[in-house]
A and B are shown apart, each in its own frame.
Chain A
């Protein structure tokens, strides 16, 4: 929408602003009422959305967009077609992504030189450009044209991510057209704070930051705590390794978070909100700043919102590189200008939070779910998902999986559906070995449990957690001992040092794991790890320490044989642990192509053309380069 909104909005003008953009949104969603307007020339014939988020920008989507704009101009189509920037579609492995509305055609890996063909064939000729369509299986020529028919999107239900890819995240007009601030207006006009809380409770939404505490209940406690000043905080200190859901939402739909914070403020009786966001997220910070200032200019935040009696101010607050600040009491200590160290609870922040005042803290994804719950009702949200885990969950799919990116699925979707349908399976024909859920506080789900429905209860039963949503897929080449060591190295490094079980205990565990992967493991190490883990879990002050041993316990539970191989046989079955692996040439398979000789960085391989080569184990740096390049698989380890 090109017309900028000028002045502060009230309830009536907000409705008008939304109606003004409704047809545009309907058209992007492919809904029929827009067709008449389109025919009348009120709307452009086609919207071409070019993803402008991290993954796509990395592959120069800005150049693709420029080329598309130029091509439209060259063919005189400026008024017919609008080329725009959009938020993340989530399918980052196909970057740069271009989607056209209303026909919903999804183009993959679009380069500037493809622009002309899109114009001539698609815009003018009415046929999608076949070669740019998604090809689910490289061995099969079949391609899928429509976004909603692609398995990546078909299995998804996007509530928290509803506006990603649909709107320009820097335009509040577009956000309003996509119903931003409609829920806030409804709350202020029609609902009491108690009714808002009742709706939230009915939805069954649980905190998406990892702990899974019922959101409505949290709001109710904060409402019932007496206090003249209360605060609302948004935990945007996403830091779990493998997690980037919150960055996606902040960059793609910042207004959803601001609106939800204002609703929360109204519900609990607060007029001040703080968003604690990682300083490592410059794009998210810029988009949030812009969103706050746009919303304030239009009277959607600040004094007397929409002309009502309710005022709510939002401030951003940047972190400075401390993972533990994602723990709520540490986050508040950090805002107060202290070392970001957790403190024992109770008192909970709902009683004594920021500056000792009652404080409601929710994470980004939790907030993003609030406006749709208010608009569609708690019962609607509760109808999605499983009996105890309601709604959807966003996962950041990464690791050894074909389709990486942000995916949102109903709770109860199985891991197999996520990995194989949405994720497109494991690349290079390798086998699925395990998925790590919940980052350093979680655990792994091995192949034998791939049909487990993903919800809070099922994952807990397997010794893992839903967590914040990091989902790292590992193929047969991953060493589970190394993975566990990796997470522990992270938590050990990030331990704030306040309580001894976490500070010292994780260090001792890491030392044992370092010995094991270095081939110096001893009998009894597994039991020592288990014993340390149980003490650390029982006695640590905060969630960081209490959950730090989980990746170790969970890998011992499912891959004990790998630990034993490292300890007893000084052997790493996956060949990842450098100290335990030796590379050699199988003379029968070697065809003498000299490829390995050329890639070896340490000059450890010798041999003549067409004769078997040999590796000097003294010189070998065990980098694995030869193993990776050898076509007849003659390098063994």
Chain B
């Protein structure tokens, strides 16, 4: 099953006004499936069966339909993920620049394979063939949504150490958006889902 079970979602009530505003944007409420799934993921960190059911209930669609749509898109996590999700771009430009070594170093230092989460639930490692579009500064990775550019095996290890120890300064030294990014990552503050999801 792509989407695991979880607790009942709180977003349908907590963000009710937003839900209604999203639905009102489209001539057909079915169009709100993806934006509502983004809302669900922002609330839980991943998308559970219970979220699919809620989306179906709100939009008058079967859970199976919502599942079939959700499972098409790679960015919806179907299982709990770590506080930090490290996504390494393994596309061609990054590959030419040495993404393989970065991924290897991460696997080694984390002791997990892509798609897995560390035992302590802290870090999920993912490789992606979807180009992260910073090809001039590869190899590239995102932690949650923050960019980390021009990585090497050694820098990747520093990155993991900084995440583990919660060292803002060390992390800021690596992040594209410096301290703001480091703080956002370390507080695992999922960036506020934009009004226009």
Mark A residues whose CB is within 8 Å of B. 54-55, 57-58, 60, 62-63, 92-93, 238-244, 247, 278-282, 285-286, 289, 292, 315-323, 334-341, 355, 396-400, 404-405, 436, 470, 472, 474, 478, 483, 486-487, 489-490, 493-494, 496, 623
Contacts and interface: CB of A to CB of B under 8 A. Distances in A.
B14 interface: no
A337 B194 contact: no
Interface string B177-197: 110000000000001001111
B136 A405 contact: yes
Contacts of B194: 285-286, 289, 316, 318
B129 A338 contact: no
Interface string B159-191: 000000000000000001110000000000001
Given A321-B128, A322-B72, A478-B96, 14 more contacts: A54-B137, A57-B178, A58-B134, A62-B178, A240-B131, A279-B75, A286-B194, A318-B38, A321-B74, A322-B74, A337-B28, A338-B30, A338-B69, A397-B136
A244 B68 CA distance: 30
Contacts of B147: 54, 58
Contacts, number: 161
Which one of A240, A242, A247, A339 has the greatest number of beta carbons of chain B within 10 Å?
Answer: A242
A281 B31 contact: no
Nearest to A314: B196
B34 A241 contact: no
B93 A472 contact: yes
B30 A336 contact: yes
B25 A281 contact: no
B196 A399 contact: no
B130 to A, nearest CB: 6
> Size range of the interface on B?
35 or more
Contacts of B74: 320-322
A198 B42 CA distance: 46
Nearest to A339: B72
B130 A323 contact: yes
Contacts of B137: 54-55, 58, 92, 404
Contact of A280 (B30, B138, B142): B142
A59 to B, nearest CB: 8
Given A58-B149, A396-B135, A340 B130 contact: no
CB-based closest 10 A-B pairs: A321-B75, A321-B74, A404-B136, A320-B73, A337-B33, A398-B135, A316-B196, A337-B30, A339-B72, A244-B133
Interface string B26-62: 0110111111011000000000000000000001000
B113 interface: no
10 contacts: A243-B135, A279-B38, A280-B75, A315-B25, A318-B34, A318-B35, A320-B75, A404-B136, A472-B93, A486-B92
B39 to A, nearest CB: 11
Nearest to A57: B176
B91 A241 contact: yes
Given A57-B176, A320-B75, A398-B136, A239 B130 contact: yes
Given A54-B176, A282-B191, A398-B138, A321 B129 contact: no
A469 B105 CA distance: 32
B166 to A, nearest CB: 21
Contacts of B93: 241-242, 398-399, 472
B19 interface: no
Nearest to A475: B96
B72 A247 contact: no
B93 to A, nearest CB: 5
A242 B91 contact: yes
Nearest to B128: A321
Nearest to A284: B133
B150 interface: yes
